[in-house]
Structure 1
Amino acid sequence: MAVGPPLVYADQSVSMVRKKDSTGFSRDVCAILLIANITRCFFWLGNRFEFALLLQSILMILAQLALLYICIHYWPRISVESLTHTTRPFSFWQWHSYTQYIEFLAGFMYVT
């Protein structure tokens, strides 16, 4: 129950590493799953639920952080995304450095 959902993304990771290209994968998927699972972990602190679900969230966070790193590492330097200007404030979740994602997540956890 705890290991299944994070393993789903292992195939995606292997595919990106094998092709050395992450075109077609949306980093927004990582954003949604990271924020949701971090929030679930904080919810567990106030209202305990099944430990397997907490473990699943922790494993999913680790899997999404790894997937995000791979996605950024193999993101093509010249892509439609890099040529167009984003309409998101502060180019939210479209950063070029893994460190910026980690800083945002650390800030999110601090505020939460």
Structure 2
Amino acid sequence: MAVVPPLVYADQAISIIRREDSTGFSRDVCAILLLANITRCFFWLGEPFELPLLFQSIFMILSQLALLYICIRYRPKVSPENLGTSSRPLSFWQWPSYVQYLEFLAGFL
């Protein structure tokens, strides 16, 4: 119950690494799952629920951080963050480096 949901994204990560291109996978998926699972962990602090669900969230956070790193490493050469043409305010979630994503998540925590 705790391990299978994060493993679903292992196939995606392997596919990106083999092709050396993350085209077709949206990093927004990582954003949604990271924020949702971090929030879920904070809910557990206030109202503890089953431990397998907490472990699932922790494993999902780790898997999404790894997948996000892979997506950034193998992003297409022509991308909004490489061209500086993002249409999002402050280029939200289209930053050029992995460290900027970690800084945002640290601020969210």
Range into which the TM-score falls when normalised by the shorter chain: over 0.9
- Aligned pairs, number: 108
**TM score, norm. by length of structure 1:** 0.92
In structure 2, the residue corresponding to 1:77 is in which secondary structure?
A: coil
Q: Residue 96 in 1 paired to residue 96 in 2?
A: yes
C-alpha separation in 2, matches of 1:58 and 1:84: 33
1:1-46 deviations in whole A, cap 9, x for unaligned? 0001000000000000011110111000000000000000011000
**TM score, norm. by length of structure 2:** 0.95
The equivalent residue for 2:76 is 76
Which residues of 2 match residues 17-56 of structure 1 at below 5 A? Answer: 17-56=17-56
1:56-79 deviations in whole A, cap 9, x for unaligned? 000000000000000000001224
- CA RMSD of superposed structures (Å): 1.1
Q: CA deviation at 1:89?
A: 1.3
Segments of 5+ residues of structure 2 without an aligned counterpart are none
C-alpha separation in 2, matches of 1:41 and 1:48: 9
Name the % identity.
72
Segments of 5+ residues of structure 1 without an aligned counterpart are none
